[in-house]
Chain A
Amino acid sequence: TQLLEQSPQFLSIQEGENLTVYCNSSSVFSSLQWYRQEPGEGPVLLVTVVTGGEVKKLKRLTFQFGDARKDSSLHITAAQPGDTGLYLCAGPFYNQGGKLIFGQGTELSVKP
């Protein structure tokens, strides 16, 4: 059973479209992180959200942490081919000593 469930698992869209990726859990997290992984590389941190209800923007990417700190979303406006990659959410799970656990990932493909 995944403690962090991401949806959708796959997303293929045209350049210029908007999209939202979700990361959900039945557990409360003190924070959630979003990573992006490009082919042949390791994941790279995009953002960390800490406060319930928090919204952070990174250019065309908007990240939101749910009020109850059990879920998060990533919204991309006017997607570009350079946004293509695997998006992973991760959070510290204190039943595992606070180590980060990851969702399954969302594979995004943006076609020109």
Chain B
Amino acid sequence: DADVTQTPRNRITKTGKRIMLECSQTKGHDRMYWYRQDPGLGLRLIYYSFDVKDINKGEISDGYSVSRQAQAKFSLSLESAIPNQTALYFCATSGRLAGELFFGEGSRLTVL
């Protein structure tokens, strides 16, 4: 089983719908991240959390929210999806600041 698991892997939705992407990890890491990947733009940080009570905005947080339900679970929500949020979303964990990131397999979201 993967150490970092994302669900769903693929989702197609319509403009205005609320979407939640979920991430769970078995690595025992405190630090969890949500990134968005678009062609030619690399990975951009949406939100990150260094422990259960800590939530921080990344460089592109507008239109997104997160919840850290437990050390092992970090979910990303799009309250009202729009087409330019169509992208590949990755959850990642790390054991220390600026250390190696361990990524999930990604959640491909299409907003029509």
Q: Do A and B come from one complex?
A: yes
Query: Which of A12-20, A37-45, A60-68, A77-85 sits within the interface?
Result: A37-45
**A98–B98 touching, CB < 8 Å:** yes
Q: Say yes or no: is A7 at the interface (Cβ < 8 Å to chain B).
A: no
A41-B106, A42-B90, A42-B106 as given contacts; A100 in contact with B101, CB under 8 Å: yes
How would residues 70 to 112 of chain B score, 1 for a CB under 8 Å from any chain A CB and 0 otherwise? 0000000000000000000010100001101101111000000
Query: Which of B12-20, B41-49, B61-69 sits within the interface?
Result: B41-49
A98-B97, A99-B48 as given contacts; A41 in contact with B42, CB under 8 Å: no
* B108 CB to nearest chain A CB (Å): 9
Inter-chain contacts of A30 with B (CB < 8 A)? 98
Q: Give A contacts to B, CB under 8 Å.
A: 2, 4, 6, 9, 30-31, 33, 35, 40-45, 48, 88, 90, 92, 96-105
Which 6 A-B pairs give the minimum distances between C-beta atoms? Answer: A42-B103, A92-B98, A102-B42, A102-B43, A104-B42, A45-B100
Q: Give B contacts to A, CB under 8 Å.
A: 4, 33, 35, 40-45, 48, 56, 58-59, 90, 92, 97-98, 100-101, 103-106
13 pairs from A and B in contact (CB 8 Å cutoff): A2-B42, A30-B98, A42-B105, A48-B100, A92-B98, A98-B98, A99-B58, A102-B35, A102-B44, A103-B42, A104-B41, A104-B42, A105-B42
